[in-house]
Amino acid sequence: MNQGIFFEDIKVGDKFRSEIGRTITDIDNIWFTLLTNNENQIHFNKDYTMKNYSGPPFNGRLVVNGLLTLSIAIGLSTRYTSNRGIMLAINNVKFLKPVFSGDTIYVEGEIIEKRESRKRPGYGIVRIKNRAINQDGDTVIEFERVIMVPKSGSVWK
């Protein structure tokens, strides 16, 4: 198992693509939507979507909750960026295409900024531009993450 990278291992311009994907199911979507008290029926009521969203691209299908898709994309990226780190921010999130049950999500990323932490010696701040893509290669979400990553040998005190 990859225990994560250290700040000194990261270089601006480094790119990654997740080796594994995650197929999203109706169960994932409905559970996440109801767990988060989201009452938008487009995520959990098939009768509603058939009556109100029967045309393309929805075709009466339940739409995967965007925050679930974002969460999965972030999870797929952690092995390359933040297994050892702490997420500080998610910025510039854009939902570009709907995701449906049965879609498989992958994530790509590029390190776009890196600097020493001014407040936390032994740590650095890294900004990553990410995009989640589906099995057809379509970008479904774009976002940036800001993470704090330790230097080798550093311990939080």
Tokens linked to 154: 């550093």
Domain ranges of the chain: 12-150
HSE toward the beta carbon, residue 117, CA cutoff 13 A:
21
pLDDT, tens digit only, all 157 positions of the chain: 457 789 999 999 999 999 999 999 999 999 999 999 999 999 999 999 999 999 999 999 999 999 999 999 999 998 888 788 899 999 999 999 999 999 999 999 999 999 999 999 999 999 999 999 999 999 999 999 999 999 998 888 8
What CA dihedral angle connects 21, 26, 31 and 32, to 10 degrees?
50
CATH superfamily placement of domain 12-150: Hotdog Thioesterase (3.10.129.10)
Q: pTM for the full model?
A: 0.92
Among 89, 101, 122, 114, which Cα is nearest to 32's?
101
Query: Which residues are CB-neighbours of 51 under 8 A, at least 6 positions away?
Result: none
